[in-house]
Homo-oligomer: A and B are copies of this chain.
Amino acid sequence: MSDRDLIIDRYKDLLKTYLKGKSETALYKGQQFSRKLIEQQISPDDVLSDHVSVLHELFPDMSEELKDSFDFLLEVMIGYGFAYREHQSLRTRQR
């Protein structure tokens, strides 16, 4: 299992736990997990893409329109992915 697969699996577990109990603790774990994702240099469009994969699995009956709305958001988020990678490169140059 690749690092990326492990991360998606962990994300799925955290999301499922939140959906089951809707506790503040589970939300807080999501917040902490974002640090880990950022450390791993995973860009925001990749997070969204993983989130959508998990949604397709958890909610297979989701409407086509809703699925399409994610394609649009993903397109918008890709621009942020570029900005994010530029940020990584600026940080590296400053070290």
Please tell me if the beta carbons of A71 and B38 are within 8 angstroms of each other in the complex. Answer: no
Using CB atoms, name the residue of chain B closest to A33.
B76
A65 at the interface (CB under 8 A from B): yes
As a 0/1 sequence over residues 69 to 86 of chain A, the CB contacts with chain B under 8 angstroms (1 = contact) are: 101110111111001101
Verify if A68 is at the interface (C-beta below 8 Å from B). yes
Cα–Cα, bound, A58→B65 (Å): 10
Secondary structure type dominating chain A contacts: helix
A80 touches B34 (CB 8 A): yes
- The answer to whether A78 and B18 have CB atoms under 8 Å apart is no
Supplied contacts A31-B79, A44-B44, 7 more A-B pairs, CB within 8 Å: A18-B72, A22-B68, A30-B72, A48-B73, A62-B66, A84-B87, A90-B91
